Amino acid sequence: MKPGWVSKRGLRRCAGRTMLFAWQHMTLGAILAAPMVSAQAMEAALPPSVVQAIRKDFVFEGQETRYLAASVDLNGDRRTEWVVHVVGPMACGTGGCPTLIFTPQGAGFRLVSTFSVSRPPIRAAEQVSHGWRDLIVHIGGGGGKAGDVALHFDGRRYPGNPTVRGVPVSAGGLAGAELLIADFQSFTNALPLPAADEPVPGAGAGSGTGPSFACSKATQAAEKMVCADAGLAELDRALAGAYVKGMKEWPPEDQTRERAAQRAWLAERNACAKGAGGLACVKASYQRRLVGLQIRNGEFEVPAAVGYVCQSHEGTPFSAVFYNQPEPRAAVLTFGDRQEIVFAAPSGSGAKYVNPRVEFWEHHGEAALTWDGKAYTCRAR
């Protein structure tokens, strides 16, 4: 992270990069063609069973998979299906990307249909076939004729290849159709698919009091603690919400870093549950991670930074911004081009802030800093 990332609202976000589809076997015109993704899709947080199904077939080592999604009642049973358009270098071809349809089953969702070589916009028509609304998708690329086609449900599924079994739809035929997923042109417009070990907001029992994950599938001791404690469940929901919010807004390099941080935090939380004072340790772990995410998301007003000069490193700028609002209290330390969030820890005198890599102690303007095992003696400017 770069120096000076602390703004009036928190850690400054880098300007997002536009990452267009530019894989060797694809061109932008072959896959994506228009300006923006729908707000409905951008806000979609997929149920865990849907995420698991997508990860099984469309996630490959070293390749990022993203998605656009919308929820809509397709079969008139007053329960919502999920329409998910998957994008990624290993998922798509020159003719388009796969779209998956999921319907509720038990406590989760089952896959009804997968159709390939499809492109947004994706719409739900007013017309119904065998009890399910027709879907209208765009096709084109790969040498095929571009246009919108309707897909009719056959009693079991939608057609697997829109270019073969899709029925052409004229511009007038789009009247009354509900837009589910709009056109877009940037890979980064799509949402990152959550990792297998990442919490997914809205995945709990739906009462508003459970955690972000399904307690029926809890296997870790820490997860069972969270399911049994309303306070921990509330922290879990808040943390999951802060994480997903950040993943929508952070630039790609920060998303990669935060995925690794999330996995490290989950390991820390799970280890807490196995040790002495497990409940208190799990709670403290949640609180630190949540505050760190809230700082990164700019949810706190930031006081003025305190500058320090470190002996033998006078040319390296060092500053601290102290957040006294949250619990636990925290500080953002910026030393040269490195930046860390540290948390208040017990101290016999002065103020002490720590994380696994950094320890900072300050008393009346005198400071001691240890960063990755290297010690510095500093004083306030």
**Together in a domain, 63 and 96:** yes
Nearest to 16 by CA among 270, 188, 246: 188
* Cα 268 to the center of its chain, rounded Å: 20
Does residue 23 lie in a domain region? no
Does residue 20 lie in a domain region? no
CA distance linking residue 41 with residue 66, whole number of Å: 12
pLDDT tens digits, one per residue of 30-82: 333 333 333 333 345 788 888 888 988 888 766 788 899 988 999 998 888 99
Question: Confidence band (pLDDT; 50, 70, 90) for 199?
Answer: low
pLDDT tens digits, one per residue of 324-346: 989 999 999 999 999 999 999 99
> Which residues neighbour 200 within 8 Å (Cβ) at sequence distance 6 or greater?
45, 46, 47, 48, 51, 194, 212, 213, 240, 244
CA distance linking residue 261 with residue 251, whole number of Å: 15
**Together in a domain, 183 and 156:** yes
Coil, strand or helix at 260: helix
Nearest to 213 by CA among 40, 104, 52, 39: 52
Does residue 197 lie in a domain region? no
Does residue 204 lie in a domain region? no
> Which residues neighbour 367 within 8 Å (Cβ) at sequence distance 6 or greater?
308, 360, 361, 377, 378, 379, 380
Question: Confidence band (pLDDT; 50, 70, 90) for 195?
Answer: low
Q: Residue 125 has which token pair?
A: 């028509």
| One-letter amino acid for residue 59 of the chain | V
Does residue 5 lie in a domain region? no
* Cα 247 to the center of its chain, rounded Å: 4
Torsion angle, alpha carbons of 140, 144, 146, 149, to 10: -90
The residues facing 71 across adjacent strands are 82
Does residue 357 lie in a domain region? yes
**Together in a domain, 73 and 146:** yes
Nearest to 86 by CA among 115, 110, 106, 108: 115
**Together in a domain, 149 and 118:** yes
**Together in a domain, 61 and 177:** yes
| One-letter amino acid for residue 316 of the chain | T
> Percent of the chain, pLDDT > 90?
50
What is the per-residue pLDDT for 217?
75
Last residue of a domain, one of 237, 270, 296: 296
**Together in a domain, 178 and 133:** yes
User: The dihedral of CA 217, 221, 226, 232: what is its sign?
Assistant: negative
**Together in a domain, 46 and 188:** yes
**If you ran DSSP here, which 8-state letter would residue 174 be given?**
G
| One-letter amino acid for residue 353 of the chain | Y
Does residue 259 lie in a domain region? yes
What is the per-residue pLDDT for 373?
96
CB 203 within 8 Å of CB 48? yes
Arithmetic mean of pLDDT over the chain: 82
CATH code of the domain covering residue 350: 2.40.128.200
- Per-residue pLDDT, averaged over 226-251, amounts to 88
**Together in a domain, 233 and 184:** no
- If you search the block for the tokens 């700028």, which residue do you land on? 317
**Together in a domain, 72 and 174:** yes
CB 192 within 8 Å of CB 171? no
**Together in a domain, 60 and 151:** yes
Q: Residue 377 has which token pair?
A: 């003696």
Domain that holds residue 35: 28-192
pLDDT tens digits, one per residue of 181-193: 988 877 778 888 8
Coil, strand or helix at 108: strand
What is the per-residue pLDDT for 196?
59
pTM exceeding the 0.75 threshold for the entire prediction? no
Separation in Å, CA 45 to CA 96, 191, 282, 356: 23, 9, 25, 31
- Per-residue pLDDT, averaged over 87-107, amounts to 87
pLDDT tens digits, one per residue of 283-299: 999 999 999 999 999 99
- Per-residue pLDDT, averaged over 347-365, amounts to 94
CA distance linking residue 250 with residue 14, whole number of Å: 7
Number of folded domains that form the chain: 3
CB 126 within 8 Å of CB 177? yes
pLDDT at 219 over 90: no
pLDDT tens digits, one per residue of 152-169: 999 999 999 998 888 999
**Together in a domain, 184 and 224:** no
What is the per-residue pLDDT for 329?
95
Coil, strand or helix at 295: helix
| One-letter amino acid for residue 54 of the chain | I
Q: What are the two backbone dihedrals, phi and then psi, of residue 318, each rounded to the nearest 5 degrees? A: -135, 130
Nearest to 141 by CA among 92, 103, 186: 92
**Together in a domain, 182 and 108:** yes
Coil, strand or helix at 112: strand
CB 197 within 8 Å of CB 263? yes
Least confident of 17-26, 153-162, 268-277: 17-26
Does residue 355 lie in a domain region? yes
CA distance linking residue 3 with residue 15, whole number of Å: 15
